Structure 1
């Protein structure tokens, strides 16, 4: 494993590069892809991915993926601890706003 100027090993970069393509796959094809293309077990793949979520280097390398994975992790943690499944206006009052005027003088409401 060589380290690039990004501070990420080749293995971590490969995991980050392939993770977005695996999100829509069902478990069987996803596991097969990880084993055949990346040469590692699915457990190891997700260990590497989950460890990378908290590193600034991974955030700089793949910000969209890392932010999405952090949201998913926070959601699962919330559900596990008995919190709401997803924020809604009923359980997240800070998401409510009052009607505002846009630049054209029309009322803009957030739903």
Structure 2
């Protein structure tokens, strides 16, 4: 998973972490939720009490706040985001290259 904390279009901090084996076998939706909540918790001191935008390349995550939460995993991750003032914007993968690069496996040579 990879995330970038930016302000006014300039990166401030980077966050990258490998998924555990259980999450590696989970759906892309759940992995993206895990990445979002991990990044928000990592940068909590900067985000609490402020409005911020989460940009994701997963179109289905965009509707997270307006959809019916069905699975226990969705409920768990959504509960970790309660109390934050945020909006989610969809940004296609090709235009989200910085965070995308952090989440790619290094090429083996």
TM-score normalized by structure 1? 0.26
Q: Which has the higher helix share?
A: 1
Larger RCO: 1 or 2 (CA < 8 Å, sep 6+): 2
TM-score normalized by structure 2? 0.26
> Larger Rg: 1 or 2?
1
